[in-house]
A and B are shown apart, each in its own frame.
Chain A
Amino acid sequence: MSDSRANILKWFVIGLFVVLGLRLFQIQIVDRSYRRAAENNVLRYEVQHPPRGEIYDRNGEFLAQSVASYDLMVVPRNIPKDRGFDTVALARIAGVSVEQLTRSLQAAKNYSHSRASVVVRQLTTEAKLLFDEGSFDGFYTLFRTQRSYPRKIAGNLLGYIGQVNDKIISRNPYYSRGDYIGYSGIESAYEDILRGEKGEKVSVVDVRGTVKGPYQDGIYDRAPVAGTPITTTIDAPLQQFAEELMEGKVGSIIAIEPSTGEILVMVSSPTYDPDELMGRDRGNNYVKMLDNPRQPLFNRAVMSSYPPGSTFKLVNGLIGLQEGVVTPNRRYPCEQGYHVGRGVKCHEHRSPLNLKEATANSCNAYFCYVFRDILDNPTRGGVMKGGYDNWAKYVRSFGFGEKLGSDFASERGGFVPTSEFYDDYYPRWNSLTVISMAIGQGELGCSPLQMANLAATIANRGYYYIPHVVKHIEGRDSLDSRFYERHYTMVEEKHYEPIIDGMWGTVHRDIGTAGVAYVKGLDICGKTGTAQNPHGKDHSTFLAFAPKDNPQIAISVYVENGGFGSSVAAPIASLLIEQYINGEVTRPELAQYIKDMKIAYPNYEKRK
Chain B
Amino acid sequence: MRSANDKLGWARIDWKTILLFVLLVFIGWLNIYAAVYNEATAGSFELSSKYGMQLIWIGISTIAAIVILLIDDIYYHQLAYPAYALMFIVLVMTLFIGKEVNGAKSWLVLGPVSVQPAEFMKVATALALARFASEYDFSLSKIKGLVGVGLILLLPMAVILIQNDMGSALVYCSFFLMLFREGLNPWVYYAIFLVVGLFVGSFLLSPTSLLILLILLFVVSQLLGNHNPKESAIYLASVGFLSMFIYGVSWLAGGAMDYYGALLIASLVMVVVALVYAYRRKLSNIYLFVIMFVCSLLFLGAVDYVFNEVLQIHQQKRILDLLGLESDLKGWGYNVHQSKIAIGSGGLFGKGFLDGTQTKYDFIPEQSTDFIFCTVGEEWGFVGSVVVLALFALLIVRLMKMGERQQEPFRRVYCYGVAGIFLFHTIINVGMTIGLMPVIGIPLPMFSYGGSSLLAFTILFFIAVRLDSQNSSIDTVYKPY
Q: Name A residues whose Cβ lies closer than 8 Å to a Cβ of B.
A: 1-2, 5-6, 8-10, 13-14, 16-17, 19-21, 23-25, 27-29, 31, 33-35, 37-39, 41-42, 204-208, 212
Contacts and interface: CB of A to CB of B under 8 A. Distances in A.
A41 B363 contact: yes
B363 A21 contact: no
Contacts of B360: 206
B389 A28 contact: no
What 9 A-B pairs come out closest when comparing CB atoms? A34-B344, A206-B361, A38-B345, A27-B344, A17-B393, A28-B382, A37-B341, A42-B357, A207-B363
Given A42-B357, A206-B361, A6 B344 contact: no
A29 B397 contact: no
Given A28-B346, A207-B363, A20 B382 contact: no
Contacts of B404: 6
Nearest to B346: A28
A144 B423 CA distance: 58
Interface string B329-366: 00000000010111111111000000001101111000
Contacts of B386: 21, 24
Contact of A25 (B338, B345, B382, B397): B382
B274 to A, nearest CB: 28
B377 interface: yes
Contacts of A204: 357, 361
B385 A28 contact: yes
A10 B420 CA distance: 11
Contacts of B180: 5, 8-9
Contacts of B181: 2, 5-6, 9
A31 B344 CA distance: 8
Contacts of A207: 361-363
Contact of A27 (B39, B343, B430, B431): B343
B342 A13 contact: no
Contact of A38 (B39, B358, B362, B382): B358
A605 B180 CA distance: 96
A19 B396 CA distance: 16
Contacts of A29: 347-348, 382
A211 B387 CA distance: 34
B345 A205 contact: no
B162 interface: no
B377 A24 contact: yes
B389 A20 contact: yes
Contacts, number: 111
A20 B436 contact: yes
A413 to B, nearest CB: 53
Contacts of B345: 34-35, 37-39
B348 A13 contact: no
Contact of A6 (B362, B400, B436): B400
Contacts of A16: 423, 427
Contacts of B382: 24-25, 28-29
B30 interface: no
A24 B347 contact: no
Given A9-B400, A31-B344, A206 B362 contact: yes
A28 B348 contact: yes
Interface in B390-404: 390, 392-393, 396-397, 400, 404
Contacts of A205: 361
Contact of B385 (A24, A33, A208, A212): A24
B166 interface: no
A28 B427 contact: no
Interface string B362-386: 1100000000000001000110011
10 contacts: A5-B180, A16-B427, A19-B436, A24-B343, A29-B348, A37-B344, A38-B341, A38-B342, A41-B341, A42-B361
Interface in B282-313: none
Nearest to A212: B361
Contacts of A33: 344
A14 B397 contact: yes
A24 B341 contact: no
Contacts of B347: 28-29, 35
A30 to B, nearest CB: 10
Given A1-B183, A13-B423, A20-B436, 17 more contacts: A6-B400, A13-B396, A16-B427, A17-B393, A20-B427, A20-B431, A24-B389, A28-B343, A28-B348, A34-B345, A35-B345, A38-B358, A41-B363, A42-B363, A206-B363, A207-B363, A212-B39
Contacts of B393: 13-14, 17
Contacts of A35: 344-345, 347
A17 B434 contact: no
A21 B389 contact: yes
B177 interface: yes
Nearest to A16: B427
Contact of B341 (A6, A17, A34, A208): A34
Contacts of A212: 39, 361
A20 B430 contact: yes
A42 B358 CA distance: 7
Contact of A20 (B177, B348, B362, B434): B434
Contacts of B183: 1-2, 5
A311 B381 CA distance: 85
A17 B346 contact: no
A34 B344 CA distance: 5
B394 to A, nearest CB: 10
Contacts of B177: 9
A23 B434 contact: yes
Contacts of A24: 343, 377, 382, 385-386, 389, 434
A210 to B, nearest CB: 8
Nearest to B431: A20
B358 A41 contact: yes
A37 B400 CA distance: 40
Contacts of A19: 436
Contacts of B419: 13
A5 to B, nearest CB: 6
A27 B434 contact: yes
A208 B180 CA distance: 48
A18 to B, nearest CB: 9
Nearest to B404: A6
A82 to B, nearest CB: 18
B130 to A, nearest CB: 16
A504 B358 CA distance: 83
A6 B404 CA distance: 8
Given A13-B396, A20-B389, A34 B340 contact: yes
B436 A23 contact: yes
A27 B430 CA distance: 13
Contacts of A5: 180-181, 183
Interface string B168-192: 0000000001001101000000000
Contacts of A42: 357-358, 361, 363
B183 to A, nearest CB: 7
A189 B223 CA distance: 83
Select the residue from B361, B362, B427 with max chain A CB neighbours within 10 A.
Answer: B361
Given A2-B181, A13-B393, A24-B377, A208 B362 contact: yes
A281 to B, nearest CB: 38
Contacts of A39: 345
In this complex, the member of A17, A28, A33 whose beta carbon has the largest number of chain B beta carbons within 10 angstroms is A28
A333 to B, nearest CB: 89
Contacts of A25: 382
B358 A17 contact: no
B71 to A, nearest CB: 28
A368 B360 CA distance: 89
A8 B345 CA distance: 35
Nearest to B177: A9
Contacts of A14: 393, 397
Nearest to A41: B363
A39 B356 CA distance: 11
Contacts of A38: 341-342, 344-345, 357-358
Nearest to B351: A38
A90 B461 CA distance: 59
